[in-house]
Amino acid sequence: MATPAQASTTGPFTLPPLPYKDDALAPFITPNTLSFHYGKHHKAYVDNLNKMSDGKPYAKMSLEEVVKASAKEAADAGIFNNSAQVWNHTFYWNSMKPNGGGAPTGKLLEKIAADFGSVDALKTQFAEAAKTQFGSGWAWLVLDGGKLKVTKTGNADSPIAHGQKPLLTCDVWEHAYYLDFQNRRPDYVAAFVDKLINWEFAAANLGR
């Protein structure tokens, strides 16, 4: 399974491969959407990050280190925005899988029951966060202070810049869904929650 940190200490940041074929999420997310979202938007963030970090200490950091360090420097907002978008997008691709959805099992299920009451309660809260994020941004399931929470961030912001551990994310920038759903963000969110969520990825993140 791919990991969000795709940078080494000796070379440029790279665009990680998708964890599935470009038609694997259809009909909910089509190859056409992935060709633009992954092949153009995600790639552009990687390219921009490499240009902006060239010759700076960031070029020798891991991707996650870049996000955390640049978040503290107002002068490096461009580096933060691009590094966080690279990280967030890679995490998003792994938050989905073909024939996803359903319900988690094991320790993750137990933790969800303890912190939300039920999987359905979590899904409702997560979907509401995704639908109501104003403008561009992300909905997240995170571990914060030992408790699972649903949160949302605007634009490129990421929970890893705030000391939280992400388990899942849903991208609600328009480029994530507009070619397939036009302005029907709620329909896209419903498809993500019911048909695409990769609970195994979330469970692995909980265990890390």
- The per-residue pLDDT for 4 is 45
- The per-residue pLDDT for 15 is 97
- Name, in order, each residue with C-beta under 8 angstroms of 3's C-beta and a sequence gap of 6 or more: 90
Domains of the chain, each with CATH number or no CATH: 31-94 (1.10.287.990), 106-207 (3.55.40.20)
Q: What percent of the chain has pLDDT over 90?
A: 94
Q: How many other CB atoms are there within 10 angstroms of residue 50's CB atom? A: 17
- The per-residue pLDDT for 5 is 39
Tell me: the pLDDT tens digits for 37-63? 999 999 999 999 999 999 999 999 999
Q: What percent of the chain has pLDDT over 70?
A: 94
**Is residue 208's pLDDT more than 80?**
no
Tokens of 30: 């089509």
CA torsion sign for 128, 131, 136, 137 is: positive
Tell me: the pLDDT tens digits for 155-193? 999 999 999 999 999 999 999 999 999 999 999 999 999
- Closest C-alpha among 84, 88, 150, 157 to residue 116: 150
H runs (alpha helix) in the chain? 31-36, 43-53, 63-70, 77-94, 106-116, 119-132, 178-181, 185-191, 199-207
- The per-residue pLDDT for 45 is 98
